[in-house]
Structure 1
Amino acid sequence: MASPKAWLETLKKSRKTALIQDGRRKIHFILPDGRELVEEYDIKTNDLLVRKWRSKNVLGREGKWEIEVGEQFRQPASSGEADFLMESSSNPICTRKDTRQAFQWRIRNLPYPIETYSLSVDQDSKCCIIRTSNKKYYKKFVIPDMERAGLSLQQSCFTMAHSNNTLIITYKKPAEILALEKQVITEIQKTKNSKEGDMECAPS
């Protein structure tokens, strides 16, 4: 059963490799179930900057990294790529970048005023739903941290703001998450740092 304690035990049982580089502490976990997890923390503040996952497919090959926290790195298109394969720069782009006290998402390229947006929690599917009254935008998203800790989403913990064509969604972290994050920091600080270049995971 998911719980903060269970997730902490999973991390403790994982194989861990640490590297300090460019002002960041980078931790590579290989979980007991074989999944890979990479987290990057600011070395001074211990703020989480990046979290990404990778799993093997049914053929045993490594899949692509899936970004949970931080911005997806987009490589420039090769000269042979057709223009129609490129993502439009005007499409809404959702990025998660947390603060110490809250989970936070920024959805760029949303020009509509704040009163256009509504946010609701679907307890059955444990997800959040953003929609606009003009029916121009609709998005479902989950908070994996809350799922891993076995915690329910609370509508009252959400706030929204809008500025510079960006919708900012904030979810106040419950006490259980704040306590878990402190324990995780303590755990990863025990991991011996590798020399630069020794880390098992591919660079970001």
Structure 2
Amino acid sequence: MAVQCWTDLLKSSKKTALIQDGKRKVHYLFTDGKEMAEEYDLQTDELIVRKWKSKSSLGAQGQWQTEVGEPHMATVASLESDGIKENCANPTFSRKDTNTSFQWRIRNLPYPKEVFNVSAEPAERCCIIKTSNKKYYKKFTVPDLDRSQLPLDCSALSFTHANNTLIISYKKPKEILTLEHELLKELKKLKGNSDGDVDCKTQ
């Protein structure tokens, strides 16, 4: 039922499509004023970027918040202009999905794989990364599961470590795969092209 609610929200949103730089770029405007922007690779149909923007309680436009993809460079640039430069040796957390898994990468973690413990906490609806040397701790959610109100499955979680990067994968449940397949079919009907935006409301 909850998956259906999220599907209905997606269908009722106002969608604008643009094909550019080998990507399918889609902008969603929801009835509550929230906006979502996505970018898909035209060759593989993989989701490259998903960002959200919502208005503040006073109605002012908020900043884009990255859910999938590298964090927006403007945020980094504004920090640097304020004289705050991020240490490039610090761990960086980002999400990059595949067609079958949600996937997160934490770079700049030079410890061996045995040091890491990655677990799903269904009661808290989050995943937790811990290290036995107490050098890194991270708690994060899977927004896609929350939106569709699907449970966290411990057996869907796995991780690997290479080149100072921890890669965490969560196998997408069949409900998510079905939803993404249906959505992609709808998005491909939007006749976006590089000459301009195309407006289309999904029936």
With the length of structure 2 as denominator, give the TM-score of the two structures.
0.90
Instruction: Tell me if structure 2 keeps the 8 A contact 1:21–1:196.
Output: no
- Provide the secondary structure at the position in 2 that maps to 1:105: strand
Which aligned pairs between 1:17-32 and structure 2 lie closer than 5 A?
A: 17-32=16-31
Instruction: Tell me if structure 2 keeps the 8 A contact 1:17–1:192.
Output: no
Distance 1:59 1:197, change over 3 A: farther
What is the Cα deviation at residue 195 of structure 1? 5.4
Which one-letter code corresponds to 2:31 in the other structure? P
Structure 2 regions of 5+ residues with no counterpart?
none
Aligned-residue sequence identity (percent) comes to: 52
Segments ≥4 residues shifted beyond 6 Å = none
1:35 aligned partner: 34
Tell whether 2:81 aligns with 1:81.
yes
1:7 aligned partner: 6
Which one-letter code corresponds to 1:134 in the other structure? N
What is the Cα deviation at residue 82 of structure 1? 5.2
The RMSD of aligned alpha carbons is 1.9
Decide which moves more: 172-181 or 185-194: 185-194
Distance 1:195 1:82, change over 3 A: closer
2:53 aligned partner: 54
Instruction: Tell me if structure 1 keeps the 8 A contact 2:94–2:105.
Output: yes
Matched pairs, number: 197
Instruction: Tell me if structure 2 keeps the 8 A contact 1:18–1:191.
Output: yes
> Partners in 2 of 1:136 and 1:46 — Cα distance?
37
> Partners in 2 of 1:73 and 1:34 — Cα distance?
21
Which one-letter code corresponds to 1:52 in the other structure? K
Decide which moves more: 30-39 or 190-199: 190-199
> Partners in 1 of 2:52 and 2:72 — Cα distance?
14
Structure with the higher fraction of residues in helix conformation:
2
Structure 1 regions of 5+ residues with no counterpart?
none
